[in-house]
Amino acid sequence: MAGQRDVGEKENWSTHMSQLVRERRTIRSFSEHPLSQEIVIDRLQAAAQSVFNEKGKLPCRFVYIASREGKEKAVSLIMSVYAEHKLYKWLPSKVGQMMAERIISIPAFLVVVQEMEESKEMCERDYASICAMLQSFSLLAWDCGIGLVWNTEPYMRKQSFATDMGLKRGERIVTILFMGNYERISKGKQRTPVMKKISFL
Nearest distance in Å: CB 157, another protein: 9
> What is the distance between the alpha carbons of residues 154 and 83, in angstroms, rounded to a whole number?
13
Closer CB to another protein, residue 6 or residue 101? Answer: 6
Distance of closest approach, residue 55 Cβ to another protein, in angstroms: 8
Residue 146 CA, chain-centre distance (Å), reads: 11
Nearer to another protein, 13 or 160 (CB): 13
User: Which of 120, 169 has the CB closer to another protein?
Assistant: 120
120: left (phi over 0), alpha (psi -120 to 50) or beta: alpha
Give the CB-side neighbour count of residue 49, counting CA atoms within 13 A: 7
Q: Name which of 64 and 96 has its Cβ closer to another protein.
A: 64
Spatial neighbors of 201 by CB under 8 A, at least 6 apart, are none
CB of 135 to another protein, least distance (A): 4
CB of 33 to another protein, least distance (A): 19
Residue 65 β-bridge partners: 109
Contact present, 103 and 78 (Cβ < 8 Å): yes
Q: What is the DSSP-derived secondary structure letter of residue 1?
A: -
CA–CA distance, 147 with 131 (Å, rounded to integer)? 16
Q: Least CB distance from residue 185 to another protein, whole Å?
A: 13
Q: Which is nearer to another protein, 1 or 195 (CB)?
A: 195
